[in-house]
Amino acid sequence: MRKSGEKRSVIKKSRQDKVIDAVIIITMIMVVVLCLYPFYLAVIMSFNEGLDAQRGGIYLLPRKFTLQNYKTLLADAAWGKAFVVTLARTVMGTAMTVFFTMFVAYGLSHKELVFRKAYYSFFIFAMYFSGGVIPYYILLRSLHLLNTFFVYVIPGCLSLFYILVAISFFQEIPVELAESGRLDGAGEFKIFTKLILPISKPLMATIAIFTSVGHWNAWYESAFFVSKKGLRTMSYLMIAIINQAKASTNAADTSMQAGASVTSLSLQLAAMVVAVFPILCVYPYFQKYFVTGLTVGAVKS
């Protein structure tokens, strides 16, 4: 045993190793700054008076702090409805995607499944080839999904890519785990819910975070399949603001309507912060599963 007064031997780094470490650290700091500073700049400019921000020179802190940009944005009832619709779409769509993906993938992971190869071939074909926008529109109309909330969640409740990833994960689980459940008298449903799902949390968390970000940022369905204003999402409203700003011949039009300190650019930045903030709050709760989930199926035994 090591004596209490004895010092631990420490391997000293050479000067070359120290230089390499310093270069790596400095490089990573620069990369982080380059990635985060544009978003930080957008945040501080969203808290600055719009007309004053057009002068430039804002780098670290707002020059003329104001909440008018956010007050003007949130005063519009459309944004409140859009937030509720986007939140409901994200929660329901993510839950449905995780639910159906896990069940379908678990069934397809069993080699004894009848017509398993036919299902595989169908999924692979559907993943690479689609009918196009017009047939898709006709299909949604036939299913009476146009101008309904369910056009946001039902068509995307099953992701073929996530199914393939989940199948790879389930195939890596030892067969003995399911066999032990069968010996105890458990059926397939109980084996799946009591034995398989608890060890699949990293996979489910990864699918959930990617799916939720996709639903939160989606605008395509609102633009092409929804005409009711009460069903618009926040991403669609952001695009509408940007298009209005581009189409406007006088940049002061918006500021004259909303207040002297607000411009179309300041509204865009405030809308971006409002849209991104919820995702930034949710992500840390999934972070502990994120790396594990990304490596699912990467290593074969």
Are 119 and 75 in a shared domain?
yes
Are 159 and 29 in a shared domain?
no
DSSP structure string for 32-55: HHHHHHHHHHHHHHHTB-HHHHTT
Are 23 and 124 in a shared domain?
no
Q: Is residue 177 part of a domain?
A: yes
Q: Is residue 299 part of a domain?
A: no
Are 56 and 141 in a shared domain?
no
The pLDDT confidence band at residue 292, using thresholds 50, 70 and 90, is low
Q: Is residue 8 part of a domain?
A: no
Tokens of 265: 């650019």
The pLDDT confidence band at residue 10, using thresholds 50, 70 and 90, is low
- CATH number, domain of 170, equals 1.10.3720.10
Q: Span 263-281, mean pLDDT?
A: 83
Q: Is residue 9 part of a domain?
A: no
Give the separation between CA 257 and CA 264, rounded to whole angstroms: 10
Give the separation between CA 120 and CA 129, rounded to whole angstroms: 14
Asked whether residue 299 carries a pLDDT value surpassing 80, the answer given is no
Please give, one letter per residue, the 3-state secondary structure of 142-160: HCCCCCCHHHCCCCCCCCH
Of the chain, the percentage scoring pLDDT greater than 90 comes to: 20
**C-beta neighbour count of 98 within 10 angstroms:** 23
**Among 112-126, 205-219, 252-266, whose mean pLDDT is lowest?**
252-266
pLDDT digits (tens, 9 = 90+) for 69-88: 888 888 878 888 999 999 99
Are 139 and 248 in a shared domain?
yes
Q: Is residue 3 part of a domain?
A: no
Q: Is residue 128 part of a domain?
A: yes
Are 100 and 236 in a shared domain?
yes
Q: Is residue 7 part of a domain?
A: no
Asked whether residue 209 carries a pLDDT value surpassing 90, the answer given is no
Are 68 and 46 in contact by the 8 Å Cβ rule? The answer is: no
Look at residue 267 in the predicted model and tell me its pLDDT. 82
Asked whether residue 210 carries a pLDDT value surpassing 80, the answer given is yes
Q: Quote the number of domains for the chain.
A: 2
Look at residue 18 in the predicted model and tell me its pLDDT. 83
Look at residue 258 in the predicted model and tell me its pLDDT. 47
Tokens of 20: 């390499």
Report residue 65: phi and psi, to 5°: -65, 140
pLDDT digits (tens, 9 = 90+) for 50-71: 777 878 788 888 888 888 888 8
Are 48 and 79 in a shared domain?
no
Which domain-ending residue is among 67, 97, 127? 67
Are 80 and 158 in a shared domain?
yes
- Listed residue (186, 6, 4, 205) closest to 94, CA to CA: 205
Q: What is the CA radius of gyration of the chain?
A: 26
- Coil, helix or strand at residue 65: strand
The pLDDT confidence band at residue 25, using thresholds 50, 70 and 90, is very high
Own/partner pairs for 99-105, CB < 8 Å, 24+ apart? 100/157, 100/158, 101/158, 101/159, 101/162, 101/163, 101/166, 101/207, 102/166, 102/197, 102/200, 102/203, 102/204, 103/192, 104/158, 104/163, 105/162, 105/163, 105/164, 105/165, 105/166, 105/167, 105/169, 105/170
Are 97 and 157 in contact by the 8 Å Cβ rule? The answer is: yes
Look at residue 111 in the predicted model and tell me its pLDDT. 83
Look at residue 256 in the predicted model and tell me its pLDDT. 45
Look at residue 189 in the predicted model and tell me its pLDDT. 87
Are 90 and 233 in a shared domain?
yes
Q: Span 166-181, mean pLDDT?
A: 86
Are 111 and 245 in a shared domain?
yes
Look at residue 2 in the predicted model and tell me its pLDDT. 54
Domain range enclosing 44: 15-67
Are 182 and 130 in a shared domain?
yes
Output the average pLDDT for the chain: 82
Which residues have CB under 8 Å from 281's CB, separation 6+?
A: none
Asked whether residue 98 carries a pLDDT value surpassing 90, the answer given is yes
Are 54 and 127 in a shared domain?
no
